[in-house]
Amino acid sequence: MKLNKYRKKSPWILHYNAGGCNGCDIEILACLAPKYDIERFGIINTGNPKQSDILLVTGPVTKRSRERLVEIYNQMPEPKVVISCGACASTGGVFRGMYNCEGGIDQYIPVDVCMRLRYQTPNKSLTGLYRHSPSWLKNQKKWNHP
């Protein structure tokens, strides 16, 4: 019995704000609300790395949040997918080059889906969450045992 098709049916999100302006966050949370209702795809916002499949990161990684990001990423069991959400998380965006920011999460953890937009809308988050990342989840095959 191939279990990996069920990965697609219940991807659980862990949403982490690595020092962003909350602009993307409210758009993501809007997805949970009745209008977009991502729960119909089986997506739950768990808030617990140990039980989630998708790490959804917003914000340019500030120096303070860097270690926490890596720690949380490590605590997520594979298969897992990282989505960098918004321009800041993907490249640093307008914060790029600032003394307190790292400019993009891909310097620290492998990013699978990158939503490199200047701003987020629920529609676009949905595309990222529902269309792209589950297929990444499904196709993830092996992971290295430490």
10 binds another protein (CB under 8 A): yes
143 binds another protein (CB under 8 A): yes
Q: Which stretch binds another protein (CB under 8 A): 74-82, 89-97, 110-118, 121-129?
A: 74-82
Q: Using the rule CB under 8 A, which residue among 31, 61, 72, 114 binds another protein?
A: 72
Closest CA to 97 of 88, 86, 110, 84: 88
- Binding string, residues 32-71; x marks residues near another protein by CB under 8 A: --x--x-xxxx---xxxxxx-x-------------xxx-x
How many residues bind another protein (CB under 8 A)? The answer is: 33
Longest dimension (CA), the chain: 51
Taking a C-beta distance cutoff of 8 angstroms, is the pair 110, 52 a contact?
no
Nearer to another protein by Cβ, of 77 and 131: the residue is: 77
Between the two ends of the chain, the Cα-to-Cα distance in Å is: 27
Cα–Cα distance for residue pair 22/8, rounded to 1 Å: 27
DSSP-assigned letters across all residues of 93-144: GGGTT-TTB---GGGTS--SEEE--SS--HHHHHIIIIIIHHHHHHH-----
9 binds another protein (CB under 8 A): yes
Q: Footprint of another protein on this chain (CB under 8 A)?
A: 3-4, 6-7, 9-10, 12, 34, 37, 39-42, 46-51, 53, 67-69, 71-72, 74-75, 77-79, 143, 145-146
